[in-house]
Chain A
Amino acid sequence: MSRTLLAVDGLGKTFASRDRGEPVKAVDDVSFTLDQGETLGLVGESGSGKSTITRCLVGLERPDTGTVTYDGFDVLRAGRDERRRFRREVQLVFQNPYASLNPRMTVEDLVGEQLLVHQGRRSREGRRERVVEVLEMVGLTGAHLPRYPAQFSGGQRQRIAIARALVSEPKVLICDEPVSALDVSVQAQVINLLRAMRRELGLTVLFIAHDLAVVRQLCDRLLVLKDGRVVEEGSREQVYGAPAHEYTRALLAAVPIPDPAADRARRRHYQESR
């Protein structure tokens, strides 16, 4: 039986509007659970609130309402030790590997930072050993240790970012659009890497994305967001096979398919099912 690892309940966040006018409800009463070992997709267009949810989860933003429960404790009101545990066990991979790596740090320091912060007792050699181990897991080598991010391609940078997240042996990996900034051929490599890591490390993954095609390759279950609210929730088969909500259907109908015949057929299908 799977047990719930992360639970979000009634999450809400309102931002003051930039110009005059109404404050914007970025996230409005969103609840979901993440079971151990599953991959949940959080799908939505820009302004759907998916980034705000991510930021609330990792503590970059404080929600106005709602609770986040991780492995039995309330993350937002957790004590020092619990919060440290949360930070170690829940890791985030950012969207843009060109922006998420400190350009002035070497790969060794970037990947090893977690160890330094959370397991300061380890020696430099001990840390390096673990860093090399993780680098090899993601398809890089120890030879990359002294290099700087600028010396890597986008795909390799995303591998470094994934290594950085995996080094402290997390239980949950939150991926915020991890492949949307990458080239198609490189995108596939990173998707495969994420699939392999999930399989080999038994990771629980929360996958935030706008690209329904990418989400289909990775997620067991989906949550479709629109204007800060959940409009549809279901298994992959359900959501892709028989979308219940109008909005989900519109989204699915709009994703281009690299196959002219299938593209035409699909459009007809979703238009008729309307």
Chain B
Amino acid sequence: MRTPRNTPASDSSADGEALLDVRGLSVDFPVAGGRGRTLRIVRELDLTVAPGERVALVGESGSGKSVTARALLRLDRHAVIGGQILFEGRDLVTLTERELRRIRGTRIAMVLQDPQTTLNPVLSIGDQLAETLTIRGVPRKAALVRAREALDRLGVARAGERLRAYPHEFSGGMRQRVCLAMAIIGDPAVLIADEPTTALDVRVQQQVLELIDELAAESGMAVLLITHDLGVVAGYADRVAVMYAGRKIEGSGVEDFFAAPRHPYAQGLLRSVPRVDRDVSTDLDLIPGTPPNPAEPPSGCAFHPRCDRWVERCLTEIPELRVLQDEERAVACHRALPEREEVVA
């Protein structure tokens, strides 16, 4: 059973111990047939991950959370990335493709949402696992041995036999374990998990998340968990960053966040989640409207059309992400300071 680790619930990177330090990240995509026009999907994003830390990046569809995750490894060829992604003293934004390839998979690994499409259907599990190592010069025999060890570590029974199996012979949960094995086989410093359990049943979700947790605890690997599920955040992260319309709007330690989120969107989101441990007598308290279209974000604070606390200023001025006084959290809201606690049920 996992216990919450004691990591400083700090959001600043000033302490200099960050393993991954993202500063002012922006991601633009060219508009198809738009004659060089681009669309900014992620804006001015700061994010730090300390060694061994579990950070969750939360948001709804269109918030830019997945784009951010993919941008960290520059996986979208068409994306134009701005800002800095500092990792072990190097800026991933300026690295050549060749240098980046040496980091991908070995230093920073990634698990995607859909294990079905991540695995190549015509290669055996063993071949795919070993490939991660052989392309880096590990002899095939040794690679297969390590592949077997990786499966063993992930609790895949009869690992030796399973190496010869093909992806379609595995269940969804098993496939995600294989993907995890592929990710950790190179002993990465950071694991980026992009909605790793969204396609899975709830019991399998729990198993996979707990596996990630155990692996991280064993090897000191840091985890960046991309998810839309606040429940998952509560159970498997030390710190949380909430995204809305391409921006980070709140960042803090998990305990603080769930005790009392400060951004109106984060508050509304938390109230909207149905809870399995509670009956509702009244209707769920909700945020009106829908998340904005990234192509046409509202003026000023992108959340103002759905906010019940907006003032004149919210319509014109984009709120900056500021660290709150006496608190280890940052919020991007003009109205975050005065209100307190009224949301906690």
Please tell me whether chains A and B touch each other in their complex, using a CB distance cut-off of 8 A: yes
A195 with B231, Cβ < 8 A, contacts A185-B269, A267-B1 known: no
| B291 touches A (CB below 8 Å) | yes
| B325 touches A (CB below 8 Å) | no
Verify A258–B273 contact, CB threshold 8 A: yes
| B286 touches A (CB below 8 Å) | yes
| A65 touches B (CB below 8 Å) | no
- The tally of residues in A whose CB lies under 8 Å from a CB in B reads 42
Verify B202–A185 contact, CB threshold 8 A: no
Instruction: Give Cα distance in the complex from A46 to B205, angstroms.
Output: 13
Verify A184–B273 contact, CB threshold 8 A: yes
- The tally of residues in B whose CB lies under 8 Å from a CB in A reads 42
Which of A80-88, A89-97, A114-122, A248-256 contacts its partner? A248-256
Instruction: Give Cα distance in the complex from A266 to B277, angstroms.
Output: 8
Instruction: Give Cα distance in the complex from A188 to B60, angstroms.
Output: 13
Q: Which residues of A contact B202 (CB under 8 A)?
A: 45, 210-212, 251, 254-255
Q: What residue in chain A is nearest B237 (Cβ atoms)? A: A260
Q: Which residues of B contact A196 (CB under 8 A)?
A: 283
| B282-304 vs A, Cβ < 8 Å mask (1 yes, 0 no) | 01111110110000000000000
A192 with B60, Cβ < 8 A, contacts A184-B230, A254-B203, A266-B277 known: no
Q: What residue in chain A is nearest B254 (Cβ atoms)? A: A260
| B316 touches A (CB below 8 Å) | no
Verify B277–A186 contact, CB threshold 8 A: no
Return the contact of A188 from the options B228, B234, B286 (Cβ within 8 A): B286
Return the contact of B276 from the options A46, A195, A213 (Cβ within 8 A): A213
Q: Which residues of A contact B149 (CB under 8 A)?
A: none
B249-279 interface with A by 8 A CB criterion: 254-255, 258, 268-279
Instruction: Tell me the smallest distance from the CB of A251 to a CB of chain B, in Å.
Output: 6
User: Which has the most chain B C-beta neighbours within 10 Å: A153, A251, A254, A263?
Assistant: A254
Instruction: Give Cα distance in the complex from A240 to B275, angstroms.
Output: 11
Q: Which residues of B contact A31 (CB under 8 A)?
A: none
Q: Which residues of A contact B229 (CB under 8 A)?
A: 184, 256
Verify B231–A217 contact, CB threshold 8 A: no
| B4 touches A (CB below 8 Å) | yes
| A214 touches B (CB below 8 Å) | yes
| B95 touches A (CB below 8 Å) | no
| B139 touches A (CB below 8 Å) | no
Verify B228–A45 contact, CB threshold 8 A: no
Q: Which residues of B contact A253 (CB under 8 A)?
A: 206
**13 A-B pairs in the complex with CB atoms less than 8 angstroms apart:** A46-B172, A154-B290, A183-B228, A183-B291, A192-B284, A192-B286, A211-B202, A213-B276, A216-B278, A255-B231, A262-B277, A266-B277, A267-B1
Interface pairs A-B: 5 shortest CB-CB: A256-B231, A188-B272, A258-B230, A45-B201, A213-B276
* Given A189-B286, A255-B231; 17 other pairs, CB 8 A cutoff: A45-B202, A183-B228, A185-B268, A185-B272, A187-B272, A188-B287, A191-B284, A254-B202, A256-B234, A257-B234, A258-B233, A258-B234, A258-B273, A259-B234, A263-B231, A263-B235, A266-B277
